Amino acid sequence: MRGPVVVAVDGSQSSLAAVAVAVEEARSRRCALRVVHAFIWPLMHVPLGPSELGPSDGGLRHQAERLLDEAAERARELAPELEITPALVTGEPLTVLEAESREATLMVVGSRGLGRFVGLLVGSTAVHLAAHGRCPVLVVRGRGEPTGDVLVGVDGGPTDEAALAFAFAAASRYGVGVTALHAWDGWSTPVELGPGDPHTALYEKNHLQHQEERLLAEAVSGLGATYPDVPVERRLVRDHPRQALIEASGTARLLVVGARGRGGFTGLLLGSVSQAVLQHARCPVAVVRADGQGR
């Protein structure tokens, strides 16, 4: 059976916006929705019930149950036909959500939570889950009701195939097209000159552009046959990938990137481009692992 769409809630406006997006994702996938709140206070041995002088409906547990019920009720109002399960799970939020991602089709989180620090553009929960989650992670940010095609970053790296498959499947469900964007610097590209480490050789501009065009064309080849209802635009730009994707996200419904790119360092679970778009994109961002689970 297909796993549920899981949305994390903490009572913030950002998480309530994530609930609305998660409802649409579950509806379009025809799967269940699980609304999760990580309840950390029992681990810290904090009294959870109402105080002796307080109201009978006070206490931390009641507050947690109330915010979870409100989020689940919001989801039921938006999609009464969905199977919706609220879950109050004891544990630290990052640990709870990473565990939830093992069985989920998709994890949906807001870009900012109640525990944010001043100066951070995206919450630590969203960044951690994008790096460590076991399924695609959708971070709700940017415009309130984004429109446009699905934008997907292509860089020739190990996560291209999974990111493109996720983007085409999403576009097919939404009834929109896909813009596959590949950015290149226009000066040099790594090539294998023989045994040993790759070296960098300068290329004549037109030859290099031809190589980058071929990379992009090969990346999207075959997906048109799988998704004949999805129009495709191949967009090749001379720019840094981060800047190109952030700028293009201004007219996109969703931006899809791989968790790791071609230029990633060994040991990093989230590439620099993925981190940058999580911080600055103008539409929701989906981060997809190389295994492509949960399209």
Q: Is the confidence at residue 69, as pLDDT, over 50?
A: yes
Percent of the chain with pLDDT over 90: 54
Q: Is the confidence at residue 284, as pLDDT, over 70?
A: yes
The model's pTM is: 0.83
What Å distances lie between residue 251 and 91, 143, 162, 258, 284, CA to CA? 38, 10, 23, 20, 11
Give the pLDDT band of residue 43 (cuts 50, 70, 90). very low
Question: Tens of pLDDT along 44-63?
Answer: 444 445 544 444 444 577 88
Residues 6 or more apart whose Cβ sits within 8 Å of residue 185: 238, 240
